[in-house]
Structure 1
Amino acid sequence: MALPSVAAASEHHPFEFETALKDLANSSNVKSVPSKFNFINQPTALTSDSIPIIDFSALTADDPHPRSKAIHDLSKACQEWGFFILVNHGIPEELMKATFTAITEFLSLPAAEKKQYEAKSASDPIKCGNFNVANTSNQIITLWRDYLKLYVHPDFHCPEKPHLLREVVLEYSERTRKLARILLEAVCDALELEQDYVDQVLKLGSSFQMFAANYYPPCPEPDQAIGLPPHTDPGLFTFLIHNGVAGLQIEHNGHWFNADSPQNSILVNAADQLQILSNGRYTSVKHRAVVNSEKERISIVVANGPAGEAVVGPAAPLVQKDGHPLYRSMKYLEYLESQLLKDRVGGKSLLEQQKI
């Protein structure tokens, strides 16, 4: 599969790649947010104990009764929240810890080592640094975040150092890809689609998967900067784990909620192509990453999508039930490219543009 290719990663593109934020944040004389990071926001949010919890072991149980309940709960979570906390998923705690260790080692590499991976275009299969976004007033804002992004399937890409990184990223991405497949099989059951419908239509054997590590250093003025502005994810399911420092917030019924998740669980969200495939039954909700003044936060995200060549539209059996499609069909690779080139923070999202 060809990688997302964006020729317009230029001065006209809203994403301009910069150098590491880590060094700036570690400087003892940074008492306020430099103007280029200025993004006025209200980082406080409501706390909710209502974010659904899905027991993955029940989805794979031989007993049909707990499995049926788990499928129902998963479907309800995708409809009402677009997010859920996945427990008993089977990924070893040791692997999750090792992944954070490897990412921390990568972040601590000398600048000269990391510079070879500094993003030159949005389509690089390995890229690190941070980037700017434009808002609706054409102001350029640098995000309070450093990142490492890797395309890990169908082709695997990873930095050579630290040596542990390749091993843990490969294993973690393979395990999460298997989780995503089982979740999608459960979705097929919930939507009364043939078991292999999604697999065939979305060509999951060549699914496009991205691994990302996000580093949010302490910020002297959390209401004057943002880690990631409100957005939805492309793809089917996105998995997130963090280093024990919360910061992800999700939008639900017009309010922002803190999306805290217990240790060793995985926070999962339904993404854009799942909303499109379900003809609007499931929802890809906006979420954001806020920063704090006390602790560094590291999150590890794995985005699981269809194959790049797969044309994603509302599932034909669902369209037949509904009488009409609610979304246009689009090749997933083109969707990724279009999102990379989308107008700006606060503008109409690509998902909204796909509505008929």
Structure 2
Amino acid sequence: MEKLVSNWSKNVGAVPEDYIYPPETRPGNMHIPIGESIPVIDLSQADKGDRTVTIQKIINASQEFGFFQVINHGIPDNVMKEAMSVWKEFFELPVEAKKDLYADSFTTKDCWLSPSSLNYGREKVHMWREALRHSCHPLQKWHHMWPQTPPRYQECVGACSVEIKKLGSKILRLISEGLGLHGEFLDEYSQTMVLSANYYPACPQPELTLGVTKHADPSIITLLLQDGVSGLQVLKDDTWIGVDPNPHAIVVNIASQLQVICNGKLKSAEHRAVTNSRKARISAAFFIGALAESIIEPAKALVDELCPPIYKSFKSKEFLPKLYETYGDSQATLEFFKA
């Protein structure tokens, strides 16, 4: 538990050496502005007869950025607010209340709290964060394994998880249609959902460290809730762009296995999280993905003589171990699965 940043970060005036990133990867003193170019898509338009227009906006954003935000998405504000509140309560619990969930290496636990990442023992540099992880779908299979404290955790996070899964399925069906596939094509690749609730304490020297290093997510699609504190950045054309921390919007990003399924027509977005010296930040990422034994391969409808498969077939469970081997280097991992 002593490895959790929140246990000691308030008592230090400088970032410890094993949290300082090399100059070429640390954020530095340069201010990264919030990017107005990152698409914000009003999903209510798809229900008002503008479905084709909305689909095209999603496809364009997924091709150019691999990243977009959705508003008027159908999840009540109070559901998101209550979930964010209960995650905040959890991370502020005393150490003793969280010790049974703690794991700093690969674990068989169904719900666990880790410092930095589950690569902690192999990391050259640690990330300035801690994360609570557990499966969320199907809800009845997992929710009884979630934290008992705070007492409202299971109720609030359960309600949010159900809404997020419905929204994720809706977005994937819009993407399927936009790719020229039948609307339910991606349903079979969205049978699981895992939460990573992330806590980034205030940092005395945010220019030296990172909350999360540059990476692309390993699953199919990620939906992210933010608490209104900036920190999320996406990489486009070798330039970092800040993402508006709108607590009413949902951030959506294309993940690596969807890039494989669509044969490179959409791109998985590399992104990172930075810290700040004034406020702690909380985010909640829901990773929607395929079952472990599912075959991940380019959709046959998207492959022909002019567009041969870029990637080979593999089981979904093979992707994450390869990502850990490359220390989270998503590009190197995708290269391994090239045809």
Give TM-score, length-normalised by structure 1. Answer: 0.86
How many residues of Structure 1 are paired with residues of Structure 2 in the alignment?
328
Identity of aligned residues (%): 32
The corresponding residue for 2:163 is: 175
The corresponding residue for 2:137 is: 153
- Corresponding position: 1:95 with 2:79: yes
The corresponding residue for 1:217 is: 201
The corresponding residue for 1:124 is: 109
Distance (Å, rounded) in 1 between the aligned partners of 2:293 and 2:47: 29
The structure showing larger relative contact order (alpha-carbon pairs under 8 Å, at least 6 residues apart) is: 1
- Corresponding position: 1:278 with 2:262: yes
Q: Shift in Å at residue 133 of structure 1?
A: 8.2
SS state at 1:303 partner: strand
Judge conservation of contact 1:59–1:186 (CA < 8 Å) in 2: no
Q: Shift in Å at residue 346 of structure 1?
A: 5.5
Equivalences for residues 1-356 of structure 1 within 5 A: 19-27=3-11, 30-40=12-22, 41-43=26-28, 44-61=31-48, 63=49, 66-119=50-103, 121-131=106-116, 140-154=124-138, 155-156=141-142, 157-200=145-188, 202=189, 204=190, 207-320=191-304, 322-339=306-323, 341-344=324-327, 349-356=332-339
Judge conservation of contact 1:230–1:287 (CA < 8 Å) in 2: yes
| Runs of 4+, deviation exceeding 6 Å | none
Q: Shift in Å at residue 274 of structure 1?
A: 1.3
Distance (Å, rounded) in 2 between the aligned partners of 1:238 and 1:214: 14
Distance (Å, rounded) in 2 between the aligned partners of 1:316 and 1:276: 12
CA offsets 1:316-336 (integer angstroms, 9 cap, x no match): 010137441001121112223
- Of stretches 344-353 and 145-154 in structure 1, the one that deviates more from structure 2 is 344-353
Q: Shift in Å at residue 306 of structure 1?
A: 1.8
Distance (Å, rounded) in 1 between the aligned partners of 2:179 and 2:123: 43
Q: Shift in Å at residue 122 of structure 1?
A: 4.3
Judge conservation of contact 2:146–2:154 (CA < 8 Å) in 1: yes
Instruction: Give the aligned residue type for 1:343.
Output: T
CA offsets 1:202-240 (integer angstroms, 9 cap, x no match): 3x4xx1211111111111111211111000001121111
CA RMSD, Structure 1 to Structure 2 (Å): 2.1
SS state at 2:303 partner: helix
**Cα distance change of structure 1 residues 278 and 311 upon mapping to structure 2, 3 Å threshold:** same
**Cα distance change of structure 1 residues 49 and 229 upon mapping to structure 2, 3 Å threshold:** same
CA offsets 1:68-96 (integer angstroms, 9 cap, x no match): 10001001010001000100011111111
SS state at 1:267 partner: strand
Distance (Å, rounded) in 2 between the aligned partners of 1:353 and 1:245: 36
Judge conservation of contact 1:153–1:209 (CA < 8 Å) in 2: yes
**Cα distance change of structure 1 residues 347 and 236 upon mapping to structure 2, 3 Å threshold:** closer
SS state at 2:13 partner: coil
SS state at 1:181 partner: helix
Instruction: Give the aligned residue type for 2:39.
Output: P
Runs of 5+ consecutive residues of structure 2 not aligned to the other structure: none
